[in-house]
Structure 1
């Protein structure tokens, strides 16, 4: 699972991420694969946040209000961080601990300068 191992920490003032894009693939009616790439991440948490923002926006695009993380993997190679996440999307708050209110999350992502789909 992502979030366990991180790269070297960078002070908040020097955090200048380069978001390289979000790819989404609908796996099933309510299951979506979110793949992200970025440079300048401080560690897994930044990549996971980027994927989360993509999942939240995707849920809204599909007419759903919520998402739940199924799994996320993060890897870094050559200075490029990649995240591969799977989320379920739904009209009602799903059971589970890693749930997302899509509207609130997209708003928060915008406030943090993290792009969405």
Structure 2
């Protein structure tokens, strides 16, 4: 009987974001008391990159996704590319720690698709908003 009660409670502690297409581009302002806990970058292919970020103080999935977007934009610049295209982002929350697992392609030229970003512009916005890019 305890297992039947524990499982729904355990699942309720983990919030998963809607598909990335449903996420707004970026929050209006960053959360006032956010703590950005760091990021990891994993190269999946020559132009396909996975970004894992963690933060506390996010208001919702948009804040964690914005952090991942900032890291992706900076990574594109570090690699000498000017653009990135969003593939997908999965956001979860557990114990007050928000995690975003995002995949982007990076390229020197503007890629096809609707979910593209100019890395220089995005990094400038991130700095202006106080969101770390690494």
CA shift, 1:3, in A, is: 7.5
TM-score (norm 2): 0.78
Aligned pairs for 1:2-81 within 5 A = 2=20, 4=22, 15-81=32-98
Q: Which has the higher strand share?
A: 1
How far apart, in 2, do the equivalents of 1:84 and 1:103 lie? 22
Give the whole-Å Cα distance in 2 for the aligned partners of 1:102 and 1:83.
Answer: 19
Question: Which is helix-richer, 1 or 2?
Answer: 2
TM-score scaled by length of structure 1: 0.89
Q: What's the CA shift string for 1:66-113, capped at 9, x where partnerless?
A: 000001000000000000000000000011111010000000000000
Give the equivalent residue in structure 2 for 1:9: none
Q: Alignment partner of 2:117: what SS?
A: strand
Structure whose alpha-carbon radius of gyration is higher: 2
Q: 1:2 to 1:113 in 2, by over 3 A?
A: same
Find the partner of 2:108 among 91, 101, 105. 91
Pair 1:116-2:116 in alignment: no
Unaligned runs of 5+ in 1: 6-11
Unaligned runs of 5+ residues in structure 2 are 1-18, 24-28
Aligned residues: CA RMSD: 1.8
Aligned length: 111
Cross-structure match for 2:120: 103
Matches of 2:98 and 2:21, distance apart in 1: 13
Q: Secondary structure at the match of 1:96?
A: coil
Q: Which runs of 4+ in 1 moved over 2 A?
A: 2-5
